[in-house]
Amino acid sequence: MKTDKYRINLIDKIMMIGLMALVILVPLAYSDLVTEITLYPKFIVLALLVLLLSVLWLLKFIFEKKAPSFVNPLTLPILFFLIINIVSLNAAVNVNASLFPLAQLFTLIILFFILVNFMTQTRLELLLKVWVITGGVVAVIGICQYLGIGLNWIPSAGNPSSTFAYRNNAAMFLILTLPIGGFLFLTSQKIKNEVIWGFCTSLMFIFLIYTRTRGAWVGLTGATFFSIMIYIILKKNRPHAFIDQRKHFKSRTKRIICLVCIGFIISMSFLDPNIEDLGGKKSEIFSTVTSIIDVGGQSARLGIWKASWDMFADGFNWLTGVGLNNWTLLYPAYAQGHLISFTTIVNRPHNDLIWILTETGIVGFFIYTWLLLTVAYMVFIIIKHNTKLKTVLLTISLSTSLLAILGHSLFSFPKERIAISMLFWMIIAFLTYIYNQLPKQSRSNNLFPFKMNSRDLSKALNYVILIGMLVISTISVEVARRHLLSDFHFKKGYFYFEREVYPGAIQEFNRAEEFWYNSWKSSYFLGLSYLKSQNLPASISSFKRCLTYNPYFFNAHYNLGVAYSKSGNFLEAIKHFAYTIVIKPDFAKGYYNLGISWHKFGNEAEAEKNYRLSLLFDPKLPQVYNNLGSILKNRKEYEEALTHFEKALEIDPHLPEALRNLDSLLLILDNSL
């Protein structure tokens, strides 16, 4: 028995270290060896640590012989939300694209149940302290970036971003952490602790200002105002319950430290940025740099939301959605050219509720709403029945964090970001733990309508559930590993591609496809590399493979048309150039290349029509004027042909074809005199 007790204590200590490592390492993890600077590095850290925790939880069950608790108010909404995400894959155009977010969701749900079972008041407070200290470290890095004080090796697509790759992502982390820092400061009873938590909270507030993220400011401000109103109402209705406890959290020193912190925040707010001196790297590939939304601001979002609504309302998509992580693959089909170009890939709708609605349908949206309303009801019950002021303040601060990130999610994408979604699920686990500590008579039986608990489950079934979680955690690690390695080779391939070392690029893009075979990015750049190397059959094969994974990818259709045109297959070229115009109706180059293909195919009438449409959308294409002039010259419409040749040379005085055509036409005109 003593041996088992020693083993259980050892397991508990290792689990606590693992949880603290989660709170520290996931926010700080990044790598400039991949294009997704933070997404895959943070997820592999999360997946590995949750795998470790799953192993320890199984061992704890073996030695402790105490049934874990899988029954709590959130069990049903979480279970149904997981099911609807899996069901949505049936509608996905690319099921493999869904595996990463599905692995992320499974991992976070496993972490949720581990936390609910493992938490104690002491462990909860320790985790919160580690979390806020990590927030302070994140803030110091971000402030240094803003002021240009070193740290230029940390890659970013928009500084100051600390270790989150983009300033908006850092702001998401800050608004989740700031209320916790405020709670620790308010409830501290020692001067040393008051200084530490006041300083950490001040640093995070300064960094939040530096991120210039309006959605985060609005989310945190609204959530804080709501929470203050809740506390005022609580204080008014229960003045005697907390009056003695409030004395423990009030001190003259605390007020002085608070004033100093406010002065520090105000003084730092007036410092000028020195971001241009950072020299920090930018991830120039796809979702980091080209995922929009400083392009066009709110008007860009409105266009994306409209396309998302059209996607949702199309056919039976409204019921179970278009499939997890398939929004970005279908967006071009509904965007009518909005934010579609060779340099812009729209990866997300910049509104998590719209994202959930389009990918999992109305069913998924209502289940997610059910989950959030259940959390809100638990908070209400805790505040109503708990007599400990510190617990009530903790509940209000955790709720403030949730409200802030939910507010920001109306303009951004926190559910995709690993550290942010991890903290979101940790918060609802903490609230579930606090709720479970209430006396049974205070808790509502309606939140879990079935009369059962974990003791009702057989020992064998508990083993099955725990081993299942262990297997799923292992699969999640493998998914994370493959994505990380695929992205690593993709970045190496892109490095060679930019330097026109196409054999090296081809080798690396092939390696990227080996690790994650549905990587449309790798297939696309592999096709471009073959195209640049004049290997047209291999180029065509790669572009076609890309389109099986991402059927509406504008760039792939265009370059596949180029490859077919160069190989002399003009009918296939016409089909793909025509598709680019369907996706982007104002695409001048699409009309131009469609005109060339029809011209080479021998249909001058269609060629002329497309040349004229090309000039309608871009009147500064000299080659189009030249080609249109050639058609007019062949029809002996010499005067208009002359105008077009002259226009081509006006735009490009050295265009050889236009010079030759003009000389030829002038010779004809001279001979006709």
Kindly report, residue by residue over 156-215, the tens digit of the pLDDT: 888 899 999 999 999 999 999 999 999 999 999 889 999 999 999 999 999 999 999 999
Q: Which of 541, 538, 578 is nearest to 558 (CA)?
A: 578
pLDDT at 237: 72
What DSSP assignment string belongs to 303-338? HHHHHHHHHHHSTTHHHH-S-TT-HHHHHHHHHTTT
**Rounded Cα gap, residues 473 and 214, in angstroms:** 36
**Rounded Cα gap, residues 10 and 441, in angstroms:** 35
pLDDT at 401: 97
What 3-state class would DSSP assign to 344? strand
Burial, 450: exposed, middle or buried (Cβ in 10 Å; 0-12, 13-18, 19+)? exposed
**Rounded Cα gap, residues 359 and 72, in angstroms:** 27
pLDDT at 289: 32
In this predicted structure, the answer to whether residue 395 has a pLDDT above a threshold of 50 is yes
497 vs 447, more confident: 497
Tokens at residue 331, please? 């967006």
Radius of gyration of the chain (CA): 30
Tokens at residue 337, please? 């050219």
Kindly list the distances between the CA atom of residue 423 and the CA atoms of 27, 51, 350, 429, in Å, as whole numbers in the listed order.
10, 17, 19, 10
What 3-state class would DSSP assign to 413? coil
Kindly list the distances between the CA atom of residue 83 and the CA atoms of 112, 351, 367, in Å, as whole numbers in the listed order.
17, 22, 10
Provide the pLDDT confidence category of residue 79 given band limits of 50, 70 and 90.
very high
pLDDT at 297: 52
Residue in the block written with tokens 């890939």: 345
**Rounded Cα gap, residues 57 and 54, in angstroms:** 5
In this predicted structure, the answer to whether residue 460 has a pLDDT above a threshold of 50 is yes
Provide the pLDDT confidence category of residue 65 given band limits of 50, 70 and 90.
confident
In this predicted structure, the answer to whether residue 283 has a pLDDT above a threshold of 50 is no
Average pLDDT over every residue of 606-628: 94
In this predicted structure, the answer to whether residue 402 has a pLDDT above a threshold of 90 is yes
Average pLDDT over every residue of 511-526: 89
CB 658 within 8 A of CB 652: yes
> For 88, which DSSP code?
G
Average pLDDT over every residue of 404-432: 96
Average pLDDT over every residue of 336-343: 89
Kindly list the distances between the CA atom of residue 189 and the CA atoms of 203, 371, 484, in Å, as whole numbers in the listed order.
21, 36, 45
Q: Apex CA 332: angle with CA 326 and CA 337, to 5°?
A: 160
573: which residues sit within 8 A by CB, 6+ positions away?
A: 561, 562, 564, 565, 593, 597
Residue 259 CB neighbours (<10 A): 10
450 vs 621, more confident: 621
Provide the pLDDT confidence category of residue 295 given band limits of 50, 70 and 90.
very low
In this predicted structure, the answer to whether residue 38 has a pLDDT above a threshold of 70 is yes
pLDDT at 179: 96
**Rounded Cα gap, residues 432 and 377, in angstroms:** 11
Provide the pLDDT confidence category of residue 292 given band limits of 50, 70 and 90.
very low
548: which residues sit within 8 A by CB, 6+ positions away?
A: none
Provide the pLDDT confidence category of residue 131 given band limits of 50, 70 and 90.
very high
Q: Which of 216, 210, 211, 212 is nearest to 272 (CA)?
A: 210
Provide the pLDDT confidence category of residue 288 given band limits of 50, 70 and 90.
very low
In this predicted structure, the answer to whether residue 452 has a pLDDT above a threshold of 60 is no
> For 585, which DSSP code?
T
pLDDT at 296: 40
**Rounded Cα gap, residues 525 and 447, in angstroms:** 51
pLDDT at 255: 87
In this predicted structure, the answer to whether residue 64 has a pLDDT above a threshold of 70 is yes
**Rounded Cα gap, residues 351 and 334, in angstroms:** 17
Average pLDDT for the chain: 90
In this predicted structure, the answer to whether residue 611 has a pLDDT above a threshold of 60 is yes
CB 68 within 8 A of CB 494: no
In this predicted structure, the answer to whether residue 240 has a pLDDT above a threshold of 60 is no
What 3-state class would DSSP assign to 132? helix
Average pLDDT over every residue of 412-416: 94
Tokens at residue 423, please? 């903290």
In this predicted structure, the answer to whether residue 671 has a pLDDT above a threshold of 80 is no
132: which residues sit within 8 A by CB, 6+ positions away?
A: 177, 180, 181, 184, 197, 200, 201
